[in-house]
Amino acid sequence: MKMILARALATLALALACSSASAGDTTGQIRQVFTFEYPGVPPLFFVLIGSGAGPASCGPLTTAQNRWVTRTDTPAGKAHMVTVLMAKAMGRSVSISGKGNPGSGWPNGCDTWGDTESIHAVFLTD
């Protein structure tokens, strides 16, 4: 049992250390939001957006899926979550810029969850 747990934690650590395959920047309607908790990881907030140019991409599982993530235990993550939920409630689109974007100042766009691009900024559109 300890070996299985050690392997699972090693796999998770490796996934979290993956670098961004390509940076995302997209605009669209929010299709789905969900939260996720995993041992040793802060609660996370995921956002799925309708298709747009430059979708989030940190691995083969999320290529062209426009899946984004932010931490819920930081002031920035809470602000991202509130903005997304407000847009969803109002039926408005959002523009999301990922941490892998050139010029965002972040060395790794997939620093929060290995196969999902981390949110750098959220803008209300429409």
- Pairwise CA distance, residues 18 & 31, whole Å: 26
pLDDT digits over 85-105, tens only? 999 999 999 999 888 877 778
Whole-number pLDDT of residue 18: 38
pLDDT of residue 102: 74
DSSP of the chain:
-HHHHHHHHHHHHHHHHPPPSB--EEEE-EEEEEEEEETTEEEEEEEEE---SS--BSSTTTTTS-EEEEESSSHHHHHHHHHHHHHHHHT--EEEEETTSTTSS-S-TTSSBTTBEEEEEEEE--
Q: Could you report the per-residue pLDDT of 36-84, keeping only the tens digit for each? A: 888 999 999 999 987 655 656 676 555 556 889 999 999 999 999 999 9
CATH of the domain at 83: 2.40.50
Model confidence over 10-33: pLDDT tens digits? 333 333 333 334 467 888 899 999
Please count the structural domains in the chain: 1
Q: Please choose, from the candidates 122, 123, 112, 125, the residue with its C-alpha nearest in 3D space to the C-alpha of residue 58.
A: 112
What is the reported pLDDT for 86? 96
Q: Which domain holds residue 96?
A: 2-124
The whole-number pLDDT of residue 105 equals 83
